[in-house]
Amino acid sequence: MKVADIINQKRQEGKPSLSFEIFPPKKSDTLSNIDETLELLCDLHPDFISVTFGAGGSTRNSKTVEIARKIKETYGVEPVVHLTCLYYTRAEISDMLRELECAGIENILALRGDRNPDYPAKNDFLYASELVEYIRSQGNFSVSGACYPETHLEAENPVMDIRNLKKKIDAGASHLISQLFFDNEVFYQFCDKVRCAGIDVPIDAGVMPVTNKAQIERMVNMCGASLPTRFEKILKKYEDSKESLLDAGLAYTIHQIVDLIANDVDGVHIYTMNNPAVAKRICDSIRNLV
């Protein structure tokens, strides 16, 4: 089932969609190491699970497809496969699309991909909008795109960033998942701006649970998300106690999600970091809201 249809169905029920992101195990690990994670996450009944994708040449990409197939066939949950393009030719992307089609996977999150100094970029695709258009020309796939509430780090300015986002929609993206953020007002203001720009597809709010200070700081540096004062106080007060930071951080995340749902967000997409215990604590707290 296509993600846009899933979200529209949830809308008719008056509820937002709930989804998770996971990543394949490292090269040295086997797929069996993620089976328990998948089982626990799928038991939480998400509407879909997205599976990340590596840079050019990574053997993790075959694991991405294998995990997505397992999510769909074994657990009956719809998978969304991340697909990056900066380090691939059109022929290579076509091969990947055929592989996804043969696996019965119809939902793709189209991304340019982060720059990686270990791999030479190729010139067939320079922007995610070009990948969206190409995927739509190659089969009956449902294509999602990424969006950045606090502006993509490489964007010239917020206006140009939204114009580029509109190009993804015009190219055929029918659903958006936001980069993580910690201030809901930032997300609400972003949604107002993109709606004014004529973007009317569902937008899922990307939320990352706070469990580890170093992890959060690393992610913030990578994506440019700002930290509200009340959030920084939590990090500072509990940085020396792993258990206290976990409790305080999850309380913050749950409050953030409840506020999003109260404000009629289309969907909540949780960056689980492959931690089903954290996802379960959140889901238990919002069980009657989604």
| Positions marked active-site | 21
Q: Which two tokens stand for residue 254?
A: 């749950």
Q: How far apart are CA 128 and CA 146, in angstroms?
A: 9
Kindly calculate the radius of gyration of the chain based on its CA atoms and give it in whole angstroms.
18
Task: Work out the angle at residue 23's Cα, subtended by the Cα atoms of residues 89 and 75, and round it to the nearest 5 degrees.
Answer: 110
Query: Are residues 242 and 253 in contact, defined by beta-carbon separation less than 8 angstroms?
Result: no
Q: Which two tokens stand for residue 30?
A: 């086997």
Q: How far apart are CA 34 and CA 52, in angstroms?
A: 14
Amino acid at 255: H
Quickly count helices (H) and strands (E) in the chain.
11, 8
Closest CA to 98 of 138, 128, 137, 148: 138
Closest CA to 279 of 81, 42, 48, 70: 42
Q: Which two tokens stand for residue 238?
A: 């509990």
Q: How far apart are CA 28 and CA 211, in angstroms?
A: 25
Query: Are residues 143 and 156 in contact, defined by beta-carbon separation less than 8 angstroms?
Result: no
